[in-house]
């Protein structure tokens, strides 16, 4: 089986590295509109070959590892693929992408969201075990053809992923909490510190807690703006829920109700019993 | 030199492990009001010996590795130590603790805040390299005796720490941003998810970003309530600044000004140029 990867950054590049170990994958072809990404991906051995967009279309399986708005655009240009070709997107939002998938290739299409990543981007950010042991959410699979479904499940499980099936609406709601809201908070925390008079003397004191909380504020603004655009409503409501929760904390501190503060913190620690 | 550690949890226990490698430390004595902590610390080899409170007072140097409210209490019971004895606290707040230090032992007292830790607590959480390569802030040292100051600097540098001098007021303000606010946010994020109908199915999707952002929400509520109590004003204003920043993000999303969102995120990424 020949696999094509469109987008050779962190996600696509790491996928290339993982696919190399799968026996039923004979070749991994790459495409990226950024030529220096293509050169870098080839040099780093992320893919076997760099091919044109029309060549990528001839692969048995095509992964879209590009920003979510670009996924929608590219899907429109894949309308003429053979009915045996499987298309998998790796976008962080699912409903808008699924809605945009042309009817003619909806059966070919597997909407997927691997719950993994780092704050880094570009081909040099690719790492071999990015997908290993992480969850991949597959959405609205009842509209995908069985052969395509099986092929995607086979590949994801062979690169060590744990498969979860979910409705796209539910996915987008959950993802706003588990991934998109944390990014908004991390960016807001970074901006709060950067807005102070002497960010350098504040950051001198940064320990592990702050470093963890601000790590994902390094993520690509371009990529995340697209995600916020596509999952706007869910993100707005998760921000509101968070604001209520932080408001509770603030009110308790204002009222100096320390017993209640300990309860509020105690409730938060229960998260780790199920995480 | 004999060193005494009051409080044998994560901070005190890890300090014991570090002190063992220092040539000029002949013995590390431990004290904890929790008897099972004493037994555990001895079993894990965190200290050489468990002694009584009156025995700890005979050590050349005493570290207070206990919650910040308890530090204030214990300081009052150290008023009768010899003038050669150095007392160092490791509390996350500094101004209230310094204000509470009895006049008679103010010269003996070194107010310190090691900017390190993990979300775990108790003797079993102790790790050998907790202090290595981290910053320790020493506050209002002009009121500490030179011999005590030198002794503390010597010990902290020998366990691999980077020393920073700072005014207590400034420390408390900076610490509220870099450490206390991130804890409030992490607890609030955890509570936001736990307040949803199906936290389990949300958490199924948790990737590295969420895990990082919620890690410190596992921290001891007892310990953190005390910190919030002592640094109330600074924490309230840092929460307010954060609320404004998150409010900005929300407004931009509501107005669908995606160019502005990318700028806002882009500004946040500049933090990592100085972190």
CA distance to partner chain B, nearest, from residue A160 (Å) = 15
Sheet holding B27-31, edge to edge: B49-50, B27-31, B2-6, B61-64, B86-89, B109-114, B135-139, B162-166
Half-sphere exposure of residue B202: CA atoms within 13 angstroms, side-chain side: 24
The fourth-level CATH superfamily of domain B171-274 is 6-phosphogluconate dehydrogenase C-terminal like domain (1.10.3660.10)
CA distance to partner chain A, nearest, from residue B126 (Å) = 16
Residues of chain B with CATH 3.40.50.720: 2-166
Return the residue of B nearest to A274 by Cα: B200
CA distance to partner chain A, nearest, from residue B52 (Å) = 30
Phi, psi of B67 (to 5 degrees): -55, 155
**Is the predicted pLDDT of residue A107 greater than 90, yes or no?**
yes
- Separation of alpha carbons A251 and B184, rounded Å: 12
Chain A contact present for B163, CB below 8 A: no
% of chain A surpassing 70 pLDDT: 100
| pLDDT tens digits, one per residue of A20-71 | 999 999 999 999 999 999 999 999 999 999 999 999 999 999 999 999 999 9
Helix, strand, coil tally for chain A in percent (to 5): 55, 15, 30
Closest partner CB to B208 (pick from A117, A217, A242): A117
String of DSSP letters for B165-211: EE-HHHHHHHHIIIIIHHHHHHHHHHHHHHTSS-HHHHHTT--HHHH
CB of B86 closer than 8 Å to CB of B107: no
Phi, psi of A120 (to 5 degrees): -90, 165
Return the residue of A nearest to B222 by Cα: A262
**CATH class of the domain comprising A2-166:** alpha beta
A positions 87-126 inside 8 Å of B (CB): 115-118
Residues of chain B with CATH 1.10.3660.10: 171-274
Measuring CA to CA, which residue among A216, A210, A204, A262 is closest to residue B238?
A210
Chain B contact present for A265, CB below 8 A: yes
Chain A contact present for B232, CB below 8 A: yes
| pLDDT tens digits, one per residue of B33-78 | 999 999 999 999 999 999 999 999 999 999 999 999 999 999 999 9
Return the residue of A nearest to B117 by Cα: A208
pLDDT by residue, tens only, chain B of 275 residues = 999 999 999 999 999 999 999 999 999 999 999 999 999 999 999 999 999 999 999 999 999 999 999 999 999 999 999 999 999 999 999 999 999 999 999 999 999 999 999 999 999 999 999 999 999 999 999 999 999 999 999 999 999 999 999 999 999 999 999 999 999 999 999 999 999 988 998 899 998 999 999 999 999 999 999 999 999 999 999 999 999 999 999 999 999 999 999 999 999 999 999 88
Q: What is the DSSP letter of A131?
A: S
Q: CB under 8 Å to A45, separation ≥6 — which residues?
A: A17
pLDDT, chain B, mean: 97
- Separation of alpha carbons A93 and A175, rounded Å: 8
Inspect the interface and report whether the beta carbons of A262 and B174 lie closer than 8 Å.
Answer: no
Tell me what ipTM this predicted complex has: 0.93
Residues A234-255, mean pLDDT to the nearest whole number: 98
- Separation of alpha carbons B174 and B153, rounded Å: 22
Q: What is the pLDDT at residue A260?
A: 98
Half-sphere exposure of residue A25: CA atoms within 13 angstroms, side-chain side: 26
The encoded tokens of residue B180 equal 């206390």
CB pairs under 8 A between A and B: 297
| pLDDT tens digits, one per residue of B223-252 | 999 999 999 999 999 999 999 999 999 999
Measuring CA to CA, which residue among B208, B177, B193 is closest to residue B92?
B177
- Separation of alpha carbons A273 and A207, rounded Å: 25
Alpha carbon B139 to its chain's center = 14
Measuring CA to CA, which residue among B217, B28, B235, B17 is closest to residue A267?
B217
Read off the pTM: 0.93
| pLDDT tens digits, one per residue of A187-213 | 999 999 999 988 998 899 998 999 999
Residues in chain A with CB shorter than 8 Å from the CB of B185 are 185, 189, 213, 246
CB of B210 closer than 8 Å to CB of A242: no
Q: What is the pLDDT at residue A275?
A: 85
Chain A contact present for B132, CB below 8 A: no
- Separation of alpha carbons A3 and A57, rounded Å: 10
């Amino acid at each position: 089986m020949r696999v094509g990867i469109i987008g050779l950054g962190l996600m696509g590049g790491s996928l290339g590295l993982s696919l190399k170990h799968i026996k039923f994958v004979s070749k991994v072809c790459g495409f990226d509109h950024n030529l220096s990404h293509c050169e870098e991906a080839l040099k780093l051995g992320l893919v076997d070959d760099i091919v044109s967009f029309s060549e990528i279309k001839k692969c048995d399986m095509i992964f879209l590892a590009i920003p979510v708005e670009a996924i929608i655009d590219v899907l429109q240009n894949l309308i003429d693929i053979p009915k045996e070709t499987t298309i998998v997107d790796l976008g962080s939002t699912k409903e808008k992408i699924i809605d945009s998938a042309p009817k003619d290739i909806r059966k070919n299409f597997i909407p997927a969201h691997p719950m993994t990543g780092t704050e880094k981007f570009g081909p040099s950010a690719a790492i071999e075990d990015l997908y290993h042991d992480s969850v991949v959410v597959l959405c609205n699979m009842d509209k995908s053809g069985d052969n395509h479904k099986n092929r995607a499940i086979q590949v994801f499980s062979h690169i060590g992923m744990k498969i979860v099936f979910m409705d796209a609406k539910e996915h987008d709601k959950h993802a706003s909490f588990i991934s998109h809201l944390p990014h908004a908070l991390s960016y807001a925390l970074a901006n709060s510190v950067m807005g102070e008079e002497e960010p350098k003397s504040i950051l001198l004191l940064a320990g592990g807690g702050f470093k963890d909380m601000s790590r994902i504020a390094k993520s690509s603004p371009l990529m995340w703006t697209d995600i916020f655009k596509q999952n706007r409503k869910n993100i707005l409501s998760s921000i509101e829920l968070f604001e209520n929760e932080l408001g509770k904390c603030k009110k308790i501190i204002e009222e100096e109700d320390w017993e209640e503060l300990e309860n509020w913190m105690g409730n938060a620690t229960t998260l780790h019993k199920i995480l």
